[in-house]
Structure 1
Amino acid sequence: MTTLKNMSQLGFTNLEEEVMLDDLHVQGKIPEWLSGSLIRNGPAKFDLDKQSLKHWFDGLAMLHKFSFNAGKVAY
């Protein structure tokens, strides 16, 4: 059973690999005229060689880019 403590720990999971998804499933409809990118910054790596970081603001960063074009979105 998933608990709130387990869910909060997911935010401290190290992300090591880049993910690219060309056509994400969307609930609803993205306007055809919407074109551009949304870039977000967030933590991705908490375990370093000799140190483990314990706060979300301390994690090494990863950029997330969502691209919108012709009613579709890519990540």
Structure 2
Amino acid sequence: MAKAAPKPEPANPIAWTLRDEIAMRMGAALVVKGGWGTTQPDGKHRSYSNMREYAEAAYSFADYMLRAREAA
């Protein structure tokens, strides 16, 4: 599944896909909860520090959800 390229203009809510909907909800949950991040090669946790990292994680989660849905 190809990833959507970032767009410089604001998103048009009418054109949102299921992937966008999942990512928006997941992104909100990640930000509200806080503490989310990645595990570095040395095993230490590094929290996300900007919205780009949260957005990338949210869209990655959406991709996994959609792949799981297709497999069912």
Q: TM-score range by the shorter chain?
A: under 0.3
More strand by share: 1
Question: Higher helix proportion, which one?
Answer: 2
